[in-house]
Structure 1
Amino acid sequence: MRLDLTTLNLILAIEQTRSITRGAEREHLALAAASKRVSDLEARLGVQLFERRARGVEPTEACRALVRHIRSLHASLHALESEVVEFARGIKGHLRIAANTGSIAECLPPDLAAFSQAHPQIRISLEDTTSAEAQAAVAEGRADIGLFTPPLLDNRLQTWNYAKSRLAVLVPKGHALAKREKVSFSDLLDYDLIGLHAGASAQELMREQAQARGRTLNARLQVRGFDAIAQLVEAGLGVAVLPEGPAERFSRVFAVQLVGLDETWAARDYCLGVLRQERLPAVVQRFVDALCPAKPAESQKP
């Protein structure tokens, strides 16, 4: 028996509906035919995919693993269809990038512009994500390239060092810390902190550092976007830790003061990650070569 799309789609439908009957209906199959497809696939794989219950079925761990691959396959098929159709319009490739907010704010735009100018027939899609989300998107086949800060959470990814960054502090003009050249993180814990939403790498790093000091992070406001953070700091609602590049720009636009963060962990790297494979697709390889020339892959593991 071959692994055909009809059977794989059926497994996905059953997993989502928790019912062989409803899964069969969704895929327009007779119940007997659907049951046979499931049993034949279980026999081929040598595992049980569903546990039969009085009110339906429950997917096993083996089924959940299979479903992850089915979703990845769907994403690949969708990308394949989209890319092939675009050849008729003169497009010769489609690059899907998932990048964390910091890399977009600090270093990615000029590199994207240069790459687009050098490769005008490659269409680029960019999604603003957290570092964890960027890694997951690449690992699951929803993105070709991920840009994120360590740690590496999935050893299916091959990574390169892309750019260096440093975290800095923004405080309102006239704030008690505004006259200081540098502050420690402990100094900031006495104030309300304005940051990105939960899951953002800098936010999680600060939470860990506060816990290591036996303190609580006073995350008064959490928003999406560095510009919103800067405006809230200007309004006097708290202080913020964000990448030095955008922090310096905001200090010239808003009534805020840039202060150095005197912590070793304030220095951090942006990594470029792709799904580990013997040979990268040509479009992906061109992008890696453009952003990380002559930089060997890192052998990082979670």
Structure 2
Amino acid sequence: MRLDLTTLNLVLAIEQTRSITRGAEREHLALAAASKRISDLETRLGVQLFERRARGVEPTEACRALVRHIRSLHASLHALESEVMEFARGIKGHLRIVANSGAIAEALPPDLVAFSQAHPQIRISLEDLTSAEVQAAVAEGRADVGVFTAPLLDSRMQTFNYRSGRLAVLVPESHALAERASITFDELLDYDLVGLHAGAAAQELMREQALARGRTLNARLQVRGFDAIAQLVEAGLGVAVLPQAPAERFAQVFKVRQLRLEEDWAKRDYVLGVLRQERLPTVVQRFVDALCPPETRTETTASTPPLRGKA
């Protein structure tokens, strides 16, 4: 079934104005032509889009569903137009990167700066997702490159060791643990925890470790963003486990202390993933080569945990 943009825009205009007459005027169509377009569309879809009332029309549930897709289509068309127009301004490519919060906090920023300076004609977009969401976005073609932590969930992806990081513990300055230099996870389980939202790699890792010990993770508060975690810890609402790099920064800004987490699994490896294909697009290949130089590159597989990369 082919749906033309003029008719879809007319549906949106009528839904917003609650009037076929005003919707037709807004889209510069004659009333008879607009009415026929709506009637033909309803026939083709097999549903009623508008209920005629004495003072206009009311959209049906089917219409509301269609309008959501029309708005999504408009957003995609706007993004398409903006991206294509950038080529007229000298942009030679667009690199869509997705990464988990830890990778963004610990590793990516300096590499993105260096790549942007070396390739100013390539536009970069970056989105913060969970590791599972990162892999799905790359595997489904919604992103070009992903940076995430193990496990590797999709064999359609080709991944390379990228960087290593470490988890640390953040506690309030006035906390009983504040004078400690390190702590085990067993000890930490006795306290309320402030963490990232469900699905975040570190949060899922802690949940699994707690279950393996027959313990419960006292996740008192879950938020989005390490800044929010640090502020909640400073307020005394719990302790937190987060990547060491942001933990060190927060210890200089907030009234919190950083402790070493004495666990083997506190050492985490970030991998860079792309969709497995015979030949990568030039822009993607340049980025992979910049972050994972061929002479030091090690590929990981879905059947084994990621190899430790250089810090």
Gaps of 5+ in 2: 4-37, 46-75, 305-311
Cα separation, partners in 2 of 1:110 and 1:207, compared to 1, 3 Å: same
CA contact (8 A) 2:165 2:267 kept: yes
Q: Give the Cα separation in 2 of the matches to 1:6 and 1:280.
A: 33
Q: Give the aligned partner of residue 131 of structure 1.
A: 131
Give the Å deviation of 1:175: 1.4
Q: Give the aligned partner of residue 177 of structure 1.
A: 177
Gaps of 5+ in 1: 8-24, 33-75
Q: Give the Cα separation in 1 of the matches to 2:182 and 2:303.
A: 33
**1:137-216 alignment runs, 5 A limit:** 137-216=137-216
Q: Give the Cα separation in 2 of the matches to 1:115 and 1:286.
A: 9
CA contact (8 A) 2:101 2:129 kept: yes
Q: Deviations over 1:2-37 (max 9, x none)?
A: xxx959xxxxxxxxxxxxxxxxx99959759xxxxx
Q: Give the Cα separation in 1 of the matches to 2:148 and 2:39.
A: 38
Give the Å deviation of 1:86: 2.7
Q: Give the aligned partner of residue 254 of structure 2.
A: 254
Q: Give the Cα separation in 1 of the matches to 2:40 and 2:187.
A: 60
- Whether 1:101 aligns to 2:90 is no
SS across alignment from 1:250: helix
Q: Give the Cα separation in 1 of the matches to 2:89 and 2:147.
A: 29
Letter in 1 for 2:244: E
- Whether 1:114 aligns to 2:114 is yes
Q: Give the aligned partner of residue 278 of structure 1.
A: 278
Q: Give the Cα separation in 2 of the matches to 1:27 and 1:218.
A: 58
The TM-score normalised by the length of structure 2 is 0.72
The TM-score normalised by the length of structure 1 is 0.74
CA contact (8 A) 1:154 1:301 kept: no
Letter in 1 for 2:99: A
Q: CA RMSD in A?
A: 2.6
Cα separation, partners in 2 of 1:139 and 1:192, compared to 1, 3 Å: same
CA contact (8 A) 2:153 2:302 kept: no
SS across alignment from 2:89: coil
Q: Give the aligned partner of residue 301 of structure 2.
A: 299
CA contact (8 A) 2:149 2:271 kept: yes
Give the Å deviation of 1:99: 0.7
Q: Deviations over 1:186-220 (max 9, x none)?
A: 10111100000000000000011111111111100
Cα separation, partners in 2 of 1:106 and 1:217, compared to 1, 3 Å: same
Q: Give the Cα separation in 1 of the matches to 2:183 and 2:39.
A: 59
Q: Give the Cα separation in 2 of the matches to 1:153 and 1:172.
A: 36
Cα separation, partners in 2 of 1:26 and 1:160, compared to 1, 3 Å: farther
Name the count of aligned residue pairs: 240
Q: Give the Cα separation in 1 of the matches to 2:256 and 2:181.
A: 14
Q: Give the Cα separation in 2 of the matches to 1:26 and 1:204.
A: 51
Cα separation, partners in 2 of 1:289 and 1:262, compared to 1, 3 Å: same
Give the Å deviation of 1:177: 1.4
